[in-house]
Each structure stands twice: as structure tokens, then as C-alpha cells.
Structure 1
Amino acid sequence: MEPVDAAIPRMTEDGLAVVLGGRTYGDDAKADRIGNLRQMSVPKEMDAFTVALTRQSKLLALRAGSAQDAIYGAYGNDLELLSRYRNAFKRTIDAALRARAAPDQPDAQAFLDRVTREVAEIVHEPTLDLGPDALQLEGNELLGRLQTQVRTEVASLKQAVAVWLHLLAEAEYVSIIEWFNPKALRYHFFRMEAFRTELGRNKTTTGDMITGRTITTTVQNRVEVFNERRVHTVVNARVQTPDEYRGRVPKRIARLLDAIPAEVRPFVTIIDGMVSQEVIHRRVASSRIETQTRAVYIPDPALALFNTWAINGWGGSTQEPALSLYQGHAISNANKILALELTGTAAVTMLAAVAEGRRGAIAAGIICLILTLFQQLGLRIEPKT
């Protein structure tokens, strides 16, 4: 490993502008960065965001001739809907940042708490108009006007979320997924660890046996937080929802998935495949950066939003225990079904014993257990693709 000069301000591969999917990142020469990002096309994968909000809009569900109180109630619902989705994305990124380090790393978590406070909010405030002028409109005219505004607000919020994620990618809070073809991609994720080293210990005693003694111990520790940027090239990639994914995950990733709000969960995927090349940028303390490139071929899952932004990942050449399940995991659901099936088997066996005797009970129990076994194998074994 050859250290990179400490003068390099960011842990990037080349520090140059990168164009991915018609979008430009890291171009510091442009003065109006946010204006430039607003001109970028919104990823097509975000059409699902529009569909989700449109389906939940109470205003868009109303028909001509709806009562005024129904319109007013739908207006309040849609205001809350837009704000809820905006805030849910912020909570997701906060959770993703904290998941860079294991939950049992208090020094790293304290550092990440400061980082999350630096992440800006999504710049979007709903502007649905139900002011005095609007309230003077006839019911159907008011409804039509509000419905037009809702459609505009949904499109505006979608663009605001995309611009916000683009900005986070430039600041290296998330990663842009670079798709080479439907089965090959490159992305990066961050890992963080903290190490505490005792440098010295000093013990002083004051007082005496009569008045009482006070023993004071002073410990001097050096705390170093290491930040890794892992760039993975992945082949044989498969996109799965968290509910479809059969593999276990590290504890920090399970906590992240459990923390993702229900509003964002439909847009989260796990992109699994085999990492063929890994480039590790490791910041050692604050003095230098070490870079190492490895050729590997091992499993490599990543968590993605809209299949465009990677918010975290695991795998690669550094082994990390992956033993945890999260809410909605396929095996978690299989365990719940198994408990119900065993209860049902016991009930069927007891009824068969009453109706058919011991032999009937044994036969019924064996049949139920065989059916349960085959169903559980189907739920737990990942199908070949």
C-alpha cells in the first residue's frame, strides 16, 4: 500500500468530474452547482415515486361534485403526505450514515452523529393554495385547481429529492451506481471504525485514614477514527427487494433496514452480485490516505435507492459477520409461518386422534410435517436464476 499525499482534500478516485447517465458529478468549475443539478434529468426509476404519491393523494381521488368539507380534509391530508415523504428520505440517509459503523463503536457513532447533523434538509415546501381567494371559488373549480397543484407538487418534490441525492453524492454521503450493462456495475460505500489506545494512567491519593482518602485515576487515551471508501466493481448483479433477499446481513445493515421508513421502503433494493475488483481508500487518523487495489470474486451486496444511489453496502475482501435478519426478511417471514404450521399440525393431529385413533393421528401428523418441510424449503432456499 502506497500512501496518497495528505494534501488530497477528498477520498475520490481521481478528483475529476464524472458523467454518469447524462449527469455530471464533482465538476467544481461550475459556479451554479445547484442550478446545474436542477437541469439534470430525473432518473426514470423515480417514476415509482410519482405513482406512489399520486395513488395516496386524497385530492386526486375526489370526483366532481365532492362536498366542501371533503375537499378541505383532502387538502390537509395531501399537505401531510408531501411533508411525510420528504422527511422520510432525510431519516433514511441519517440511518444510512450511522450504519457506516457498527452499533458497538461509540467513538465512531459519536463522529457519525455530528456528520448527520451536517446533512441539509430537502429543499421543498408544499405550496398548495387554500387561501381566501381560493375559498371563494365554486367547489368543482376549487377541486380542479387543487388537483393541478398536487400534480405539480409531486413533480416538484420528486425533482427536489433527486437534486438532494445528487448533492449528497457530490459530498460523498451516498454513491452513484454506475451501470455498465444490466449485469455489471460499479459503486462505493463507506465503512468506519474507531480504535482507542491507552497512552498513560496516573493515580493520585489525597486525604488520610482519619478524614478519608480520595483516589483519583486519570487515563489518557488516543482515539483514532478510520474511514474507508470501498469502490466495488460487481458482475452477475441481481436486483432484489429486501423482502426477496434470502441472505443474512451484518447487524449494522439489519438496523439500517429496520430504520428505513415505510414511505421509502418500496424504493429500496438490494443489488447482489460478485465483486470482481475492489479499491480501498483508507484514511489513517488524519495524516495520510492509504490506497489498495485487489482482484477478488466474492459476494457483494449493496443497498440502493431507485437503483441509482447506493446508500450502504457490505462484503468485499474484509470479512464482516453477516448473521442478522431484518423486519420483513424472507427467513423471518418463514419462521413466523413455521410457527403457525407447527401449531396447525398439532391441532390436526389431535383431531385425527379423536376421530381415527392413534394410527390416524400419526398419519395426519406425518403428512402435515412433510407438507410443512417442502413449503419451508421453498421459502428458505434461493431459487436458481
Structure 2
Amino acid sequence: MPDALDATPYDALLLLSFGGPEGPDDVVPFLENVTRGRGIPKERLKEVGQHYFLFGGVSPINDQNRALLDALREDFAGHGLDLPVYWGNRNWAPYLTDTLREMVRDGRRRILVLATSAYASYSGCRQYRENLADSLAALEAEGLDLPKIDKLRHYFNHPGFVEPMADGVLESLAALPEEVRDGAHIAFTTHSIPVSAADTSGPAEEHGDGGAYVRQHLDVARLIADAVRERTGIDHPWQLVYQSRSGAPHIPWLEPDICDHLEERHAAGVPAVVMAPIGFVSDHMEVLYDLDTEAKAKAEELGLPVRRSATVGADPRFAAAIRDLVLERAAVERGQGATPCALGALGPSHHLCPVGCCPARAPRPAAAGADSPYA
């Protein structure tokens, strides 16, 4: 058996994710959870739900989270890390509040949170922290003793996140017809968000044009493009593009959209494109529909050869990266030295989200940060 690794003071890891429907009857209730408070009519939600109905009303995200849970538990056990792993979702079962209640009843007092979002943004970080605060408030109202919760730092530039995606791009290039392979363009894709949210992403000192959200994605894209060049000897042109816009047309969101980008690249004479979804941890519905369905249909219409590279999913290197991040944060909490692992120009992210980081339009309590009411 390997020597035991020390995760103290933590006694559990919580995988915190978005959630998704697992059958046709779940689709509209799930979308009601996602859009609660926005006053969207049920008929409109049924229209939006067509993306899910194309896949039997099932989002792949829950099964992908189950696979990641298995990978984490296998990695932890194989390396002597005695740390139980739980799972809770923002918008579907298992719900976050229910999972935290279970953890409290299991005696968990110091909890680390792994969010299935690698980058800084309101929706990818602070909103999860707000969800944690909401759940803690619910447990407090029930009279339960509250655990102390911390969140793992952003892992966008950890080798265990970057390297599997670089391999995926290389595999997609190799799958292109030989006559178009060397001239292929790489479109690195991520979720579009409002420009105002991008500009205020990350700590206050990083706010500005695109904020931390855009800078972090560009850094990852450069790392992957450099890895591809080192492995192939070919300097493929690339660009960061966006997908999955869902906001009102009059509100500026990050552009260009992937389908518009495919049209533009085709018009410029590019012979092929690899779509690399670096903004996503797993192949969930927005990857399956927006890239594998909608973008590929656009490419077929144009006669443009495309391939879509894999997300990290449950890759063993990603599970190992999470173990590394757990041990790093545990050492920091114990007051011991820790050498953070990070690639690229930006360095490791902060362990504690500072005040003013990724602010909401309307201030709400958020746990696991410098402004947490649950210190």
C-alpha cells in the first residue's frame, strides 16, 4: 500500500456541478430550476428543451459526473488519500442542499469543493459560491451545525487539465484527411457570457477588457497551440471563439460565435477546422448540441471538414490534478509550504476569492471567499 497522503484539516471533497435532466419528464422542471426568478413562460421552456429532447430528454452531464466521481475515488484510493467524495448539483438531483445535509449528518466538518468550472467568472465561480451560501443558510435554519467550506482554486492551467485537451486536439488533427490536415485551423471554444460579466471576472485588479475570463482562456489556448506545434512541427493558426449564447439580443455577449467563425474561416479559404472546447470540463449538452449538432451541421453546409476534440472528462490525469490541488490546499491550511502547479504565463490562481471578485449584478451572500458570512 502507498504511504497515506495528508488531507487534514479536510475530511471530505464535494463535487459541485450544474446538473441536468435524466429523462423527458425532467426537462421542463430542470429548466424551471435553471431560470427561476426570470419569469420565463413554460411554453418558452418547452421550446428551449428541444435540445434535450433530441437526446431523449437526457443530459450526459450526470453520467459524466458519476464517471469523474469513480475516477477520483479510484485515484485517491490508489494513492493512499483517505478522503470521501460526495456530489451535489445546482439545478438537479442530487441537489446541493441535500448533499450538504448528508455530509453534516455524516460528521463532515471541513469540506473542500471542486466546481466543474475551471475558469473565473460569475456563473463559473461566484454563483456556485452563492449556491453554497444558500444551502448553508437552509441548514442553519434547520438547526444543523454548519461545516467550514473552502473551494479549490481555478485549475484552468494545471497540467492535468491542459495536457488531456492538447492530446485531444492532436487526435482530432490526425483524424482529418491528410490533404487538409497541415492547413487546419484550431477554433478554441468556450461559453459566451455577457461582455459586462467578462470585464468584471476575476479579482478587481484584473477587471478590464475581457477580465480574467478571456485572459485565462487565451493562456490555455496558447499552451495547447504550443504543444501541438512542438509535437507536429506545424504552427496551426487558432482563435478563441464562443458558443451557447442565451441572452437577450440587445445585450452584448462575447463573440464571435462558433458558427459565424466557421463561415468566416471557410470564406477565407481555410481547408479544415478542429473545434476544441477548452471551456468545458466534460462533453455535456452544450458540447453535444452546440458543437456536435449545430456547428457540425453548419460545417457540412459549407463543405468544411471539421473535427471536435475531447474534453478532459474523467481522464486519469485530471483526477490526479484534483488530488494535487487537494493536497496543495490542505498544506496551505496547515500553514505548510506548498508549490502550486501551473502552466503558462498567468501562474496559479488565488486560494480565496477576494472581495470584488466576479461580482453579481445584485449583491448576494457567497460562501468560501473573503466576503463569506460563513467564515
Which interval holds the TM-score relative to the shorter structure?
Answer: under 0.3
* Greater relative contact order, per chain length (Cα 8 Å cut-off, separation 6+): 2
TM-score with structure 2 length normalisation? 0.24
**Greater share of residues in strand:** 1
TM-score with structure 1 length normalisation? 0.24
Q: Which has the larger radius of gyration?
A: 1
